[in-house]
Amino acid sequence: MNIFSLSTARDTPDSRLRSEACDWLVLLTSGQATVADANALRLWCAQSPEHAQAFEQAKTLWHQLVPAVEQLQQPRHFGRRAFLGGAIAASAALFMVRATIPGGFSGLTADYRTEVGEQRRVELRDGIRLELNTQTRISRREGGIELLEGEVEVLANAAQPLKIQAGKGWLSAAQARFNVRNTDHSVCVTCIEGSLTVAVGGRSVRLDSGRQLTYDTAGLGEPLAVDTQAVIAWREQVLVFNNATLNTVIDEINRYRPGMLVLLNSELGKRRVQARFSLHQLAGVALLIRDAYGATCTELPGGVVLLS
């Protein structure tokens, strides 16, 4: 019997939903899931009650199978999805399969990097210091650096301007302290002290102390006044959220925490949050959300917690 893919003769809408739900669980527990994947899963579950029910059934089958999977000692090679027949009949059940495809190809050749929850200081050259936040990748470029992914605070006190490429834009500063974040195909630049120049798509903007701007594929936004201390609170091992949605809070927490929190309740995700978290609290943050909002927590391997 081929256990790589056991399926019924009829490819019904229900069977397709069950199959897709199992794929989502495989991805979540593979160690390769991203915040974007978590957002995509939320949208998938919100498509219809049938989608949400299929995922709930997949979670139930997962927990029924965990004891049996843990007893499998001999080497076996399964595909990314395995289904059980027999008594389960048309229902699909999931074995835990670890993905072996390497991730983060764009950062494999980075000169400076940090992993989940790690922060690091780099003395780039005289008068130029970098403070790398969690999950950051930076490469050296002629005359400067490229922020491939993540977040960095830059302290520049040099005769020659430092040039930074981030996404489709270029930053230039000689006397400034500023924060640059490149995540989810969007770049956010915040000037803490001094001033810098941001150039995107032929347009150049001077950014002064206390101002922030963002840019993405849609273009360059206008500078706005912001609370700079909240932006750089991560330097003090703190996350600050002012009137942010719970979805935004969870996405940010996932940058610092091994595993992943996945919020499946779309209405709960819209709730506004005023919060301050120490990075040392994040191991138990799922329980804080559960207690504060009455969410249900389902723990999966690899530090994945489903909140619904």
The residue ranking higher by pLDDT, 90 or 77, is 77
**In this structure, are residues 255 and 273 in contact, taking their beta carbons and an 8 Å threshold?**
no
| pLDDT above 60 for 294 | yes
- For residues 150-172, give the mean pLDDT: 96
Q: What is the pLDDT of residues 41-80, one digit of tens each?
A: 888 888 888 888 888 777 777 666 555 444 443 444 444 4
| Domains detected in the chain | 13-88 (no CATH), 105-226 (2.60.120.1440), 237-307 (3.55.50.30)
Contacts of 26 (CB under 8 A, 6+ apart): 80, 81, 94, 97, 99
CA distance 166 to 76: 43
The residue ranking higher by pLDDT, 297 or 6, is 297
pLDDT at 114 (0 to 100): 94
